[in-house]
């Protein structure tokens, strides 16, 4: 295992530049659309492809990653809701711990289960503190993990959770509003968390316009993740041309 992906994220952060991951859900992407989709990704400012979903049937992730790797040299990083989404065909994996929740399975159980599978791969493993923040309605992550998100107004808990993740040695913090969230993570929350952290900050959930993406960057996100907006309308890529 090397650490090319993480080193690159850190060096981009050091230069004050920004990263964009396109999230592809193996449940939703049709294999015969991949070539066209990737053409649009390549014409855009996207720097990474994340692959994952909160619930995905076994085998679909691997098929999708194999197809993606035929068309792109962008880093393909697994963003798994469960261990069945692990495949050695990707380049790396966000090794998530759901630190906003108090379900031991999602704090450490799934990670223990993943070890024997990861041992058979060459994936770059990136330890990531995953923090789910309430956005007004129940999210897929909340339902699947049976955990409560942190309330938006509890800014001190959000900050302390992110900092605790960093102090535990996690390498990335991911602030998540939930797939298709009505309200993306606010600039206030992003900037408060950013000020505390030395490690890179990922922000995702409910970002649907270039303006929202830029306000996340301005508030301090190093890497923004967008999935649903592209699933709903691929012409959004036109707004994000290089
Ligand atoms: C360590 C390993 C292998 C797995 C980690 C397991 C953990 C802790 C997961 C965190 C909780 C979770 C369920 C995360 C899902 C992350 C994700 C890919 C979200 C995006 O998926 P959605 O877009 O919500 O999926 P749907 O659109 O299918 O609802
Ligand atoms: O699908 P969207 O709302 O863009 O969210 C991206 C990601 O943060 C979801 O886990
Ligand atoms: Mg989704």
* 192-233 pLDDT tens trace: 999 999 999 999 999 999 999 999 999 999 999 999 999 999
55 in a labelled binding site: no
206 in a labelled binding site: yes
pLDDT in tens, 94-136: 999 999 999 999 999 999 999 999 999 999 999 999 999 999 8
Residue 73: both structure tokens together: 């040299």
177 in a labelled binding site: yes
pTM over 0.90: yes
Buried b (16+ CB within 10 A) or exposed e, 28-56: ebeeeebeebbebbeebebbbbbbbbbeb
| Res. 1 pLDDT band, cuts 50 70 90 | low
pLDDT in tens, 63-92: 999 999 999 999 999 999 999 999 999 999
Distances (CA, A) of 66 to 69, 87, 100, 110, 174: 5, 10, 32, 24, 26
DSSP calls for 9-20: HHHHHHTT--EE
User: What is the rounded distance in angstroms from the CA atom of residue 93 to the CA atom of residue 78?
Assistant: 4
- φ, ψ of residue 42 to 5 degrees: the values are -65, -25
- Measured in Å, residue 15 CA sits from the centre of ligand 3 at 31
Architecture of domain 4-239: Alpha-Beta Barrel (3.20)
176: Cβ contacts below 8 Å, ≥ 6 apart: 130, 131, 132, 133, 141, 185, 204, 205
Count how many Cα atoms sit within 13 Å of the Cα of residue 212 in the half-sphere of its side chain.
18
CA-wise closest residue to 79 among 101, 112, 113, 56? 56
**Nearest ligand 2 atom, CA 52:** 10
Domain ranges of the chain: 4-239
**Nearest ligand 2 atom, CA 23:** 6
Q: What angle do CA 199, 203, 205 make, to 5 degrees?
A: 160
pLDDT in tens, 2-14: 899 999 999 999 9
What mean pLDDT, rounded, does the chain reach? Answer: 97
């Amino acid at each position: 295992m090397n650490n090319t992906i993480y080193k690159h994220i850190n060096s981009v952060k050091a230069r004050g530049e920004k990263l964009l991951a396109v999230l592809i859900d193996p449940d939703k992407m049709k294999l015969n659309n991949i070539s066209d989709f990737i053409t649009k990704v390549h014409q855009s400012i996207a720097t990474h492809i994340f692959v994952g979903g909160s619930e995905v049937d076994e085998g679909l992730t691997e098929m999708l990653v194999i197809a993606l790797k035929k068309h792109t040299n962008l880093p393909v990083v697994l963003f798994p809701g469960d261990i069945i989404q692990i495949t050695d065909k990707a380049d790396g994996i966000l090794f998530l711990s759901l630190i906003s929740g108090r379900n031991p399975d999602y704090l450490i159980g799934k990670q223990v289960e993943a070890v024997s599978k990861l041992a058979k791969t060459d994936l770059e493993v990136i330890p990531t503190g995953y923090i789910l923040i309430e956005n007004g309605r129940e999210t897929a992550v909340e339902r699947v993990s049976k955990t409560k998100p942190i309330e938006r107004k509890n800014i001190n808990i959000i900050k302390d959770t992110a900092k605790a993740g960093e102090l535990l040695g996690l390498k990335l913090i991911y602030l998540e509003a939930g797939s298709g969230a009505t309200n993306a993570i606010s600039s206030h929350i992003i900037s408060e968390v950013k000020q505390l952290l030395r490690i890179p900050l990922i922000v995702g959930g409910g970002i649907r316009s270039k303006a929202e993406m830029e306000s996340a960057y301005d508030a301090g996100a190093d890497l923004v993740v967008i999935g649903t907006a592209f699933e709903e309308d691929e012409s959004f890529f036109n707004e994000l041309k290089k």
